[in-house]
Amino acid sequence: MNVTAVKHDKLMLSRLQLFRNVDLNSAEMDQLLSHCDYRQMNEGETLLSLDVENHYLYVIVSGRLAIKLGPDEDIPLTAIEPGECVGEMSVFDSRLPSVQVFACEPSMVLQIEQEVLWRMVSASHEIARNLLYIMSERVRYSNLVVADSLEMQRKYQQFATIDALTGLHNRGWLDDVFEREIRRSERDRLAACMLMIDVDHFKNINDVYGHAAGDKVLIAVAESIRRPLRTNDLVARYGGEEFSVLLPETSVENAVGIAERLRERVSEASPGEIDGKELPKVTVSIGVNEFKPGDSLESVIASADSAMYLAKKAGRNCVRVALNS
Asked whether residue 242 falls in the same domain as residue 306, the answer is yes
Distance CA 71, CA 87 (A): 17
Name the average pLDDT for the chain. Answer: 89
The H or E element spanning position 302 is helix 297-313
In terms of residue numbers, what domain contains 31?
Answer: 2-153
Residues 6+ apart with CB under 8 A from 239: 171
Which CATH number goes with the domain that contains 234?
Answer: 3.30.70.270
**pLDDT at residue 95 is higher than 90:** no
Following DSSP, what letter does each residue of 232-274 receive, concatenated? Answer: T-EEEEEETTEEEEEEET--HHHHHHHHHHHHHHHHH----EE
Q: Which residue has better confidence, 88 or 253?
A: 253
The verdict on residue 106 lying in a domain is: yes
Asked whether residue 104 falls in the same domain as residue 202, the answer is no
Q: What is the pLDDT of residues 250-288, one digit of tens each?
A: 999 999 999 999 999 999 999 999 888 899 999 999 999
Pairing mode, if any, of strands 284-290 and 319-321? parallel
Share of the chain above pLDDT 90, in %: 67
Count: domains in the chain: 2
Q: What is the mean pLDDT of residues 38-55?
A: 93
Encoded amino acid at 223, one letter? E
The verdict on residue 49 lying in a domain is: yes
Asked whether residue 9 falls in the same domain as residue 139, the answer is yes
pLDDT of the residue at 83: 87
Following DSSP, what letter does each residue of 30-41 receive, concatenated? Answer: HHHHTT-EEEEE
Asked whether residue 139 falls in the same domain as residue 218, the answer is no
Q: State the pTM of this model.
A: 0.57
Which CATH number goes with the domain that contains 74?
Answer: 2.60.120.10
Q: What is the pLDDT of residues 50-86, one digit of tens each?
A: 999 999 999 999 999 988 887 777 777 788 888 888 9
Q: What is the pLDDT of residues 127-155, one digit of tens each?
A: 989 888 887 777 776 666 556 666 666 65
Which CA distances in Å does 130 have to 31, 134, 229?
20, 6, 58
CA angle (209 as vertex; 204, 215 as ends), nearest 5: 85
The H or E element spanning position 103 is strand 100-103
Asked whether residue 147 falls in the same domain as residue 185, the answer is no
Query: Is the CB of residue 196 less than 8 Å from the CB of residue 244?
Result: yes
Distance CA 300, CA 291 (A): 6
Asked whether residue 106 falls in the same domain as residue 136, the answer is yes
Query: Angle, nearest 10°, between helix axes 211-226 and 252-268?
Result: 140
Work out whether the CA dihedral 156, 161, 166, 171 comes out positive or negative: positive
**pLDDT at residue 158 is higher than 60:** no
For the annotated catalytic residues, the residue numbers are: 241
Q: Would you call 66 helix, strand, or coil by DSSP?
A: strand
